[in-house]
Chains A and B, each alone.
Chain A
Amino acid sequence: MGAKTSRAAQGAKNTDGGIGRMDNIVLHVDDVFKSFGGLHALSDIDLQVAEGKTHAIIGPNGAGKSTLLNVCVGRLKPDSGAVVFNGSILSGRPPHEINQLGVARVFQTPEIFPDLSVLDNVVIPALAKRDGAFAIDAWKAMYSEGELKDKAATALEDVGLQEHMGQEGGSLSRGDKRRLELAMGLVQDPLLLLLDEPTAGMSRLDTNRTIELLQKFKARGMTKVIIEHDMHVVFSLADKVTVLAQGRIIAEGTPDEVRGNPAVQEAYLGGVHE
């Protein structure tokens, strides 16, 4: 109940001019433009993600959501503008550096290590977090890395995959692969977790389980940016919603505000739910 009222208060602050002063902004998307050929994929994007909050980015297909995410993780370089995370500019950095700064990404189509065991799939990101981007420790044996494995096992328990630890990653079902990817992101305790449609292609049951899981991690104070199609997911998770259409931000606010916004209904809600 307490959490709910504080979130409402937060929303109120947002309406009268952006983010409350108490909030620490971790991710700053500053005036980003990006075009492919003649197509303006992103124009004039300004976005601020506050620490510990879940920020959803929604919009119809082709609105520029994935482009925006790719700009954030350094896969695409913006034509102008910058993405600043905790004081360091992300745009133009290689992916591993961005990860080492504390930004983890969960992909839309599950990107795992299909030939490795489920446990090793999660040990790898934990290793990256502990040892950095490059380390040759060829004399230590993996089987003496008990602490690392415990950490990975805990992350797998969190997502409910503890019974599949010995299995090969590639043999998991699609839904389980997505959960595995989530565990790979969570095990790093990232400062910022970027989720690209975390429930796409999932059954209703799996979707609800994922929502529950993400809500659980909200309590740990992890900042999240979610790109999502599913309004159900957005409304049950997000503190703040940004609506994109044709590469521009057309609305921003709490889920309730966005839901009531006529421009959003015109561009998105009306368009998709025919």
Chain B
Amino acid sequence: MDRSSARNDLLLMVVFTAAVLTMPIWLTPIGAGYPDLLQKFAIFGIFAIGFNILFGLTGYLSFGHAVFLGVGSYTTVWAFKLLSMNILPAVVLSMLLAGVFALAIGYVSLRRTGIYFSILTLAFAQMAYNLAYSVLTPITNGETGLRVLRDDPRVLDHMFGIEVGESLPTPELFGLRTIGYEGFYICAVFLIIAFFVAMKITRSPFGLALRAIKSNQIRMNYTGFNTRPYTLAAFVISGMYAGLAGALMAVTDPLAGAERMQWTASGEVVLMTILGGAGTLIGPILGAGIIKYAENIFSAFNEQSLHHTFSFLPEPLQNAAVSISTMFVGEGWHLTLGIIFMLIVIFLPGGVMEGFRRITRWARKPPAPRRAQKIQTAG
């Protein structure tokens, strides 16, 4: 039994790695095979995996995780400015600083559970967002956003004799560029590591303790566990994941703005996790992919392309179809997202992963439920 579980995990890891690395190939037919979107899949996948450790495993719904995304981005740009254009110090520092922020915010917020915890995290996120626009402008550069400049100090780069040319310096990893497919593969490697760590946590005694806290925290206390440090550890870990995601956003596009910390960004990762299946390993990544893909498709439509889509209809019908569907695309794509989300929560509370489970169960033994139904109607 033990050996087969270990083998299953290894298999999962191999399949996952292969699937991520071949994304540019198998996502091309559905029009998602270009680097910018692929980078987003990987980055938001990391964000969602980390969020799931807190929400899916431990059962604490944070509405403020975008703070750590923002902290990660700002730290990365500052590391580019002060230390080096190499992304390694930037990524490490971002994760550390996001962890420190998570420790502070988590320490306070985790004094409460349920809705009060969510409200506290939301309050912190809004505070951070507003601070970034006001008092902290010297650090965040306010509305303009924080950018890399030509004459930044970059101490480490100078030490190693790396000088910038005429153009603006760009982030790199030992000569590898961070844009295009190279950028995607850098993000993909981080995603694979992030997934591996999350899998290890889920399978460990620590992960079991987190799941037990989600199931019945009071019982955990009477069972001899001090649950506070467990929840705080989960919060910090997920904060560091968000910090990594934020860092990679700045790595692929070296600009950090406060809008990254807005509550909609915090809400988005909640949607991703629930849509894919909270508490599962793959679910959150799927959710992140689906939402980013849908956003890409739906927000690309405009009135002209809609007219083109409905051009097979007669003129008046075509106009009606366009004016209705225009609400759901472009700027209005959040309406579509909202509807998808409602449908999932109502009919498939376990998310896409539960959908898969239901399908496999149904495929294995189709006659059983039908017979039960017949008996019921007969009775």
Contact = CB atoms under 8 A, between A and B. Distances in A.
Contacts of B300: none
Nearest to B203: A141
Interface residues of A, number: 41
B216 A100 contact: no
Contacts of B221: 94-96, 99
A89 to B, nearest CB: 18
Given A112-B219, A113-B216, A114-B216, A100 B208 contact: no
A206 interface: no
A115 interface: yes
B1 interface: yes
A73 interface: yes
B205 A73 contact: no
Contact of B6 (A114, A120, A124, A143): A143
Interface in A46-95: 73, 94-95
Interface string B92-114: 00000000000000000000000
Given A95-B222, A99-B223, A139-B200, A127 B205 contact: yes
A141 B216 contact: no
A127 B6 contact: no
A184 B205 contact: no
A111 B215 CA distance: 10
Q: Residue among A99, A124, A131, A132 with the most chain B CB within 10 A?
A: A124
Contact of A145 (B205, B214, B223, B226): B205
Given A131-B205, A139-B204, A111 B218 contact: yes
Contacts, number: 106
Interface string A103-134: 00101000111111000100111011101111
B1 A124 contact: no
Given A113-B212, A113-B215, A143-B5, A129 B204 contact: no
Interface string B215-246: 11011111111110110010000000000000
A167 to B, nearest CB: 14
A172 to B, nearest CB: 14
A146 B2 contact: yes
Contacts of A143: 1-2, 5-6, 203
A128 B218 CA distance: 14
Contacts of B205: 127, 131, 135, 137, 140, 142, 145
B1 A127 contact: no
A188 interface: yes
A219 interface: no
Contacts of A137: 204-206
B211 interface: yes
Contacts of A134: 225-226, 229-230
A136 B53 CA distance: 14
**Interface core residue of A127, A132, A137, A140 (most chain B CB under 10 Å):** A127
A141 to B, nearest CB: 5
A141 B230 CA distance: 17
Interface of A: 73, 94-97, 99-100, 105, 107, 111-116, 120, 123-125, 127-129, 131-146, 169, 184, 188
Interface of B: 1-2, 5-6, 9, 200-201, 203-209, 211-212, 214-216, 218-227, 229-230, 233
21 contacts: A96-B226, A111-B219, A113-B212, A114-B215, A115-B214, A116-B211, A116-B212, A120-B208, A123-B208, A125-B223, A133-B226, A135-B206, A138-B201, A140-B205, A141-B6, A141-B200, A142-B203, A142-B207, A143-B1, A169-B215, A184-B223
Given A137-B204, A138-B206, 9 more contacts: A99-B221, A99-B224, A116-B212, A124-B208, A134-B230, A140-B204, A142-B204, A142-B208, A143-B1
Closest 6 CB pairs of A and B: A128-B224, A99-B224, A133-B226, A113-B215, A143-B5, A115-B215
